[in-house]
Amino acid sequence: MSKTKILNVGEIETQKQKYIIEKLRKEFENKYKETNKKKTFHVETFGCQMNFRDSEKITGILTQIGYEEVDTEEADFVIYNTCTVRENANNKVYGRLGYLGKLKKENPDMIIAICGCMMQVPEVVEKIKKSYRFVDIIFGTHNIYKLAELIELRLYSKRMVIDLLTDAQMIVENLPSERKYDFKAGVNIMFGCNNFCTYCIVPYVRGRERSRSPEEIISEIKQLANDGVVEIMLLGQNVNSYGKNLDQPMTFASLLQRVERVEGIERIRFMTSNPMDLSDDLIEVMKNSSKICNHLHLPIQSGSTRLLKLMNRKYTKESYLELVRKLKIAIPNISLTTDIIVGFPGETDEDFEDTIDVVKQVGFDSAFTFIYSKRTGTPAATMDKQVPNEVCNIRFDHLLKTIRESSKDSDGGEINSIQKVLVEGINEQNPELLTGRLTNNMLVHFKGENHLIGKIIPVKLIEKKRFYYMGEIPNQ
Ligand code: SF4
């Protein structure tokens, strides 16, 4: 006698959402038969790779319902997937909402939805409810999976629908998703963050850390490999903390070893790694892997141990440099990139000199650099000794110059070598060229046929520029 499978809450939710999607799809189909006009949608995504991955899920659900994607906000359904990492990100969205309000006057049946990190901030939702009453649906980061249900509610109630969870209650798997690329893909391995760096709003809007089961991750990657994907990016706010909340805890290093065994996947990337818990096991797995790319993004934020403490970053200048020393011994040609904040409250000249010293010692290939900006709702926003702008600007310029000077400007012997390149598309500046990516994440531009897009091919590097190479396909 066959055993009935007991569904967990996540699986029940998946079934429920699939049922609603199917119901709406039939309604849209009937409408289409009457009007011979498909409803259109447009997704606007702000922020990080986690948001872009969520937008692929939003696009998948809307497409399954029967909407058709268009590249303009003059659509029947427009959704903003927002970011709130910096205060001015909010202002950008308010500005754009004004324009959407005008469009809705011309198309009253238009549905406007907003989701993402910004909606997890209660003051923001109050402002939308008061000043942007034409918005139809508001939801957050924890219930992207509920989009179909919220659309149904809006269509029936004809009223603003707000559905916000303060923290995630479950991970809902196996809902539709439209991938942006068919040769590379982002795969969430975990959500949320428990680190509470004092300048960061993410833990308040993305909730507590929860990891996906390794089985779900591996089955998704196997499906991607079957679909022709050759490169995956494992995504998490801090991937090193993967697996801690699982019934059977598992390390990120062990997960990587399982991912490595998936046939068809040729390249593995991951972000973001917090230096506080990057383990020796992980370095060993990276060293012995034939698929993990030799690029690591390792945000340091500041080189001053005193400031790292104020940032609640749980490592020191010395431990960070020791980590880099180990990485370079294990993977000599590793490319290291980082994030650095200048002007964190209380930053002194000595603190800043420590940052410069780390940059000189490490020789980052590139870095995302930011002047500290207050983020209401974070502890740092109320700290005293905010650094004056003119001081921040001087330090910022000095930092950029130091990064430029200390990054490996030698060609590292790569010129005239033949390297494996994943061809990612037609060059945006020069359509006669293709653009591809080396395993160290550097871009290469070269002449080639469009059918090579999505393939990993050998390319000879002939010239190194600041942030990319020029290349040629050998014997072409
Ligand atoms: S590790 Fe720190 S900076 Fe990164 S998401 Fe978590 S709190 Fe923010």
Residue 202: CB within 6 Å of ligand 1?
yes
Residue 237: CB within 6 Å of ligand 1?
yes
Distance of alpha carbon 342 from alpha carbon 371, whole angstroms: 5
Tell how far the Cα of 48 is from the centroid of ligand 1, in angstroms: 13
Q: What is the pTM of this model?
A: 0.93
Say if residues 207 and 142 touch (Cβ distance below 8 Å).
Answer: yes
State the pLDDT at residue 456.
Answer: 98
Taking only the tens place, the pLDDT of each residue in 428-450 is 999 999 999 999 999 999 999 99
Below-50 pLDDT ranges, the chain: 1
Residue 378: CB within 6 Å of ligand 1?
no
Q: What is the DSSP string of 49-111?
A: HHHHHHHHHHHHHHHHHT-EE-SSS-SSEEEEEE--SSHHHHHHHHHHHHHHHHHHHH-TT-E
Tell how far the Cα of 201 is from the centroid of ligand 1, in angstroms: 8
State the pLDDT at residue 27.
Answer: 96
Residue 386: CB within 6 Å of ligand 1?
no
CA 90 from centroid of its chain's CA atoms: 18
Beta strands in 83-201 (DSSP E): 111-116, 137-139, 161-163, 184-188, 190-191
State the pLDDT at residue 412.
Answer: 55
State the pLDDT at residue 299.
Answer: 98
Residue 196: CB within 6 Å of ligand 1?
yes
Q: Ligand 1, closest atom to CA 196?
A: 7
State the pLDDT at residue 413.
Answer: 62
Q: Ligand 1, closest atom to CA 237?
A: 5
Taking only the tens place, the pLDDT of each residue in 283-292 is 999 999 999 9
Residue 200: CB within 6 Å of ligand 1?
yes
State the pLDDT at residue 2.
Answer: 57
CA 232 from centroid of its chain's CA atoms: 13
Say if residues 317 and 273 touch (Cβ distance below 8 Å).
Answer: no
Residue 239: CB within 6 Å of ligand 1?
no
Tell how far the Cα of 312 is from the centroid of ligand 1, in angstroms: 10
SS3 letters across 207-245: CCCEECCHHHHHHHHHHHHHCCCCEEEEECCCHHHCCCC
**Contacts for 456-460 with beta carbons within 8 Å, 24 or more apart?**
456/230, 456/266, 456/267, 456/420, 456/421, 456/422, 456/423, 457/420, 457/421, 457/423, 458/418, 458/419, 458/420, 458/421, 459/418, 459/419, 459/420, 459/421, 460/416, 460/417, 460/418, 460/419
Tell how far the Cα of 254 is from the centroid of ligand 1, in angstroms: 23
